[in-house]
Structure 1
Amino acid sequence: MGTGIERARMIATEDGHRVTPAELFFDLVFVYAITQVTALMAADPTALRMLGGLVVLALLWWCWCCFAWLGNVVRADSGVLPVVLVTVMAVVLVVSLAVPEVYADADGGLPVPLVFVLGYTAVRLLHLVSYWVSSPNDGELRATLRRTALVSVLPPCVLLLVGCGLSGYPQVLLWLGAVAIDYLGIYVTGGSGWRVTSPAHFAERHGLIVIIALGESIVAMGVAVEGFHLSTPMLAAAAAGLLVAAGLWRLYFGQVSEVAEHRLAARDGDARTRLARDVYTFLHLPLVAGVVIAALGMKKVLQQVADTEHYDLSEPLHGIVAWALPGGVGVFLLGAAAILLRAGGRRSMVLLVGGPACLAAGGLVELVPALLALALLALAVLVMVVLHGRSVPPGRADEPTTMTTAVEGAA
């Protein structure tokens, strides 16, 4: 009996802890989940569906973040936690299957919105219970878990349940309110009690989810051309889309992630927790959301280029997808700029100018052929990567500045 209990015990991590294969396996289900969000928006590309898709993405993001935090304090490959992770994967898979019909429940079968909400609630409860079991002697953490359950879990889940009986704008807006309460609740409950044992692990986990999002954008382009004959314009569009993804990858991993990780490692205690919450839990969401939004635009470009029976090569993008193509990149750039400001106290004028410029470029996209718009976006992203790299002296991206000191004092 004693041996069984010992094997089931959760094992605390140490400062040098890195990402485990169990966590990589856990992330696989979120590859599918993010793909489903893009499909949800692509099925009905309107402003309402775009907002609804981002609400669903925010809920899925919270599910992922919960266990990124947990895996930083207890090993994901030891004790009972692998069983918990597989259980969560099963629930998230069910939630992901429900995503395409979460706002348009078809007749027959299970009530899709209810299945989605019950699955989401189950993940949040499993996270709280796992954290509770992981630290039996940590009174401060358990007090924080109780506050989190009452402020940041229970009220949003009630609103989500109520929204299951609605449709259209009322459902989306009520669910958006649930997301807002959930996220604001983290500030109400405070940063004490939570721990970031290994900054390297925490940064690596979030870097991996950025890669997953970028990979999903490539998958979206591939899905868009299924059933069409291969053509030169299709290859050109795919290459341009890949360059956009590569530029965002280079920007994040070459010029943003190191700054965040170094600043996180330089802090300890509650200051480290607050920085991790702001930079990773909150400000990495715009990065993922930006890639998903841009993927919608790239998917539509590939569809138009491939479907020569219904579209001419001179056809531009229209409506919300015309905004999504450059707008998603703009959201990503502004998220990266916010991370640099919060983590290192440094303003990047390239990102601060490029982000709004991309957000405002939707009107121009509607005036030029879709393939040309994607090619110009790829060129713009690569130029911004080069300019931003030149604005940071080598070896000094993580050095504190006067702004850093002010931010640290405020935090």
Structure 2
Amino acid sequence: MSEAGRGWLRERRAEDADKVDFPELFFDLVFVISILQVSHRLATHYDALGFAETLLIMLALWWVWIFTTWVTNWLDPDKLPVRLMLFALTFLGLLLASAVGKAFDEKALLFAGAYVTMQVGRSLFALYAFHGHSPDEFSHFRRVTIWLVASAILWIAGALLGGHIQLMLWIAAIGIEYAAPAAGFRVPGLGRSEGDDWDVLGAHMAERCALFVIICLGETILVTGRTLSDMPMEPLTFLLASTAFLTTALMWWIYFHFGHDRAAEEIETAREPGEAARTIFTYAHIPIVVAIILSAVGEEFVLSHPTGETELKTASALIGAPAIFLLGNVWIKRAATGRIPPSHLIGLALLVLAIPMSLVLQPYALFVLAMAILAVTAACEVYFLRRALAHLRGKETEKQDGEG
């Protein structure tokens, strides 16, 4: 068993140890469907209850994905047993995605059953892989499994009981799972997991999360293309198409231009890489994902009804999405660099000022305004970064002149 486990682990010192493997990309495919389902569900249930239910579903999808990413950060997807595990998770993920739209109706048990099987089954597989080979990871996943089994009871019970009790039990279940990493998966008699116990490949985690962000951004492109295909070709349609594309491109720019690579470096050099990875990737990416999904919903609203009075749901999505997105990037960049980007604070302030404008602007105009605020944010970040770099180079030049 020890030899089997050793054969399934990633080689930490290999040159390509942190590369994302094709089986992981295959696993990601099912989340394209999941994000589409979540976006559609939110668009058709855009009220307090619908938002709460859809948010809970999204949190569950993110959690099953990020937990799998943690496992493949330690186990090698090119090894046959690990690859088969990912294939099994992909099939279960397909069932999970098919149940998203009716997770609080007749497909509640399918959603809960698929989710629980993915979470607990993957954890048991990792437990087997580490047994007799890696004591730290084995102890860690023993605690993880106990927490997931505890939440699984609530997931299944909620699906069986239905109604408002289902929502309450599922909130409790997801609450347990989200509290677990922050609590170090503490179990009486088994201790807790410490950040310095986790050997994390930062570049792998960063690339995996970046790929998930791209999946979400792809959803906005799909929504735009699907909706525009039924619209007449006229100047307003071109304006909407341009604004939708630029909004997606600007979110890509703000996320990837600075912070993504820095986050990977932070994990690799941190004194407690597990703690840093937990903050940056496990938790701080959640608002990024929520914001992009909400942005896709806002685009669907404004593309469907571009003129006339701006409804509250349209305004809340158009302004709320970039605000949440910038807050998520502030969290990531603050954790990775130790600083809060002033450009993002400028963008957030402008979005606050845009709130009263939603009362007088038509949907398409508010859409353009929100995109313009993202453009200002991106431009300010480039300016501040160049100024900081020039200042750093100036100090280095002065130091060299002084030594000379």
Which TM-score band (shorter chain)?
0.7 to 0.9
Who is 1:298 aligned against?
299
Residues 394/141 of structure 1: CA separation in 2 closer, same or farther (3 Å cut) = farther
For residue 159 of structure 1, the aligned residue among 154, 159, 163 is 154
In the alignment, structure 2 segments of 5+ residues that lack a partner are 186-191, 393-404
Query: Counterpart amino acid of 1:250?
Result: W
Gaps of 5+ in 1: 106-110, 306-312, 400-411
- Residue 12 of structure 1 aligns with which residue? 10
2:334 alignment partner in structure 1: 341
Going from structure 1 to structure 2, the CA distance change for 1:396 and 1:178 (only over 3 Å counts) comes to farther
Query: Which stretch shows the higher mean deviation, 186-195 or 376-385?
Result: 186-195
Matched pairs, number? 377
Aligned to 1:144: 140
Letter in 2 for 1:262: E
* Distance across 1 between alignment mates of 2:53 and 2:87: 28
1:154-184 alpha-carbon deviations (Å, 9 max, x no partner): 232222223322335x543442332222111
How far did residue 7 of structure 1 move?
12
Tell me if 1:112 matches 2:107.
yes
Amino acid at match of 1:186: P
Q: Which AA in structure 1 matches 2:38? A: V
Q: Does 1:86 find its partner at 2:87?
A: yes
Change in Cα spacing, 1:248 to 1:131, as seen in structure 2 (3 Å) is: same
User: Which one-letter code corresponds to 1:139 in the other structure?
Assistant: P
3-state DSSP of counterpart to 2:24:
helix
TM (norm. structure 1) is: 0.85
Cα 1:7–1:156 change in 2 (3 A) is closer
Report 1:11-410 matches (<5 A).
11-15=9-13, 16=15, 17=17, 18-103=19-104, 105=105, 111-136=106-131, 137-151=133-147, 153-164=148-159, 165-167=161-163, 170-188=165-183, 189=185, 190-192=192-194, 195-267=198-270, 271-305=272-306, 313=307, 315-355=308-348, 357-358=350-351, 361-362=354-355, 364-393=357-386
| Cα pair 1:213 1:292 within 8 Å, conserved | yes
- Superposed CA deviations along residues 110-132 of structure 1, whole A, max 9, x for unmatched, are x3011000000011012202211
In the aligned structure 2, how far is the partner of 1:7 from the partner of 1:71? 13
Amino acid in structure 2 at the alignment position of 1:375: V
Maintained 8 Å contact 1:36/1:99: yes
Q: How far does residue 36 in structure 1 lie from its aligned partner after superposition? A: 0.7
Note closer, same or farther for the CA distance 1:234–1:177 as it changes in structure 2 (3 Å cut).
farther
Residue 252 of structure 1 deviates from its aligned partner by 1.0
Q: For residue 148 of structure 1, report the CA deviation from its aligned partner.
A: 1.8
TM superposition score normalised by structure 2: 0.86
**Superposed CA offset, 1:269-306 (max 9, x none):** xx00110011001001111111111111011111114x
Tell me if the contact between 2:280 and 2:332 (Cα under 8 Å) persists in the aligned partners.
yes
When the two chains are superposed, the root-mean-square deviation of aligned CA atoms in Å is 2.5
Name the CA shift for 1:129/1:396 in 2 (closer, same or farther; >3 Å): farther
Compare CA radii of gyration and give the structure with the larger one: 2
Shift of 1:21: 1.6
Determine the C-alpha separation between the residues in 1 that align with 2:117 and 2:228.
36
2:40, 2:310 → 1: CA distance? 18
